[in-house]
Amino acid sequence: MSEPDSQAGGTVKKFLYINRRAPHGSNYAQEGLEVALIGAAFDQDVAMAFLDDGVFQLKSNQDTAEIGTKNFSATYRALGDYDVKKVYVERESLESRGIGEDELMPLVYEDEDDDWEEKPLISVVDEAELREIIDQADVILNF
Amino acid sequence: MSIEIEGKSYETDEEGYLANLSDWSHELAEAMARMDGCDLTDNHWEVVNFLREYYEEYQIAPAVRVLTKAIGKRLGKDKGNSKYLYELFPYGPAKQACKYAGLPKPTGCV
């Protein structure tokens, strides 16, 4: 696989996808996830941030049977396959909603440089750290 | 659009991908392949079945790069490379195999 930096002629930008909405009441979460995956498939440097009600998107054991929509929460587990390795969750948003870190899906990626060992994707960061992450992004997309 | 198999009609999008995943069957996969002039061998089926499992687990059709890597992990390096997969599916491994698997067009495919 080509390193992002060595891509012939292409500029790699740091994309940050910010997800602020609960997963199943609108299309935003699913669309945001798809756009992030497409960006990653095109070798962009992709990071995702989850804050406000967006933290609900990463909760384990979602079940959409009763509302008759596709349970796309399984797709977050493909992020590692797409080489998305930066998923940030805001600590304050979790705390104010009473969600523990252990209630989030255990997302992982396989580290090619470390004998394919599974490593966690999610980093819980506080508001100040998240502000720093937002500052460093070249392109910010809100969903 | 739609395709006709043995008198029955199945709805597809404008590129020939099945509109309803639940319409899929082995016969339908073979019929779709025949329309492209492709006979499905065991090697083709290995990829098609893999895609169906991937979709079942992750609810998306993987982009070609992701497919290649995942096939390599599952079936070995001699199959997890673009040369092998493009020989099987000359129109693009993810694109073409997803069609026969009854899945939507891969995420990250334009």
**Structure token pair of residue A114:** 């470390």
Continuous segment of H or E residues that includes residue A32? helix A28-41
Q: What is the pLDDT of residues A1-14, one digit of tens each?
A: 444 444 455 778 89
Q: How far from A131 is each of A43, A118, B52, CA to CA, in Å? A: 24, 28, 40
**pLDDT score of A3:** 46
Which CATH class name applies to A11-142? alpha beta
Q: What amino acid occupies position A120? A: P
Are A12 and A19 in contact, with CB atoms under 8 Å apart?
no
Task: Tell which B residues from 43 to 82 touch A, by Cβ distance under 8 Å.
Answer: 57-60, 62-63, 65-66, 69-70
ipTM of the complex: 0.81
The chain A residue lying nearest B57, using CA atoms, is A74
The residues spanned by each domain of chain A are 11-142
pTM of the model as a whole = 0.86
Domains of chain B: 2-35 (3.30.1420), 42-100 (1.10.10.370)
pLDDT digits (tens, 9 = 90+) for A25-82: 999 999 999 999 999 988 889 999 999 999 999 999 999 999 988 899 999 999 999 9
Using alpha carbons only, what angle is made at residue B97 by residues B90 and B75, rounded to the nearest 5 degrees? 95
B62 contacts on A by Cβ (under 8 Å)? 78, 81
Confirm whether B109 is a catalytic residue: yes
Write down the pLDDT at residue B49.
95
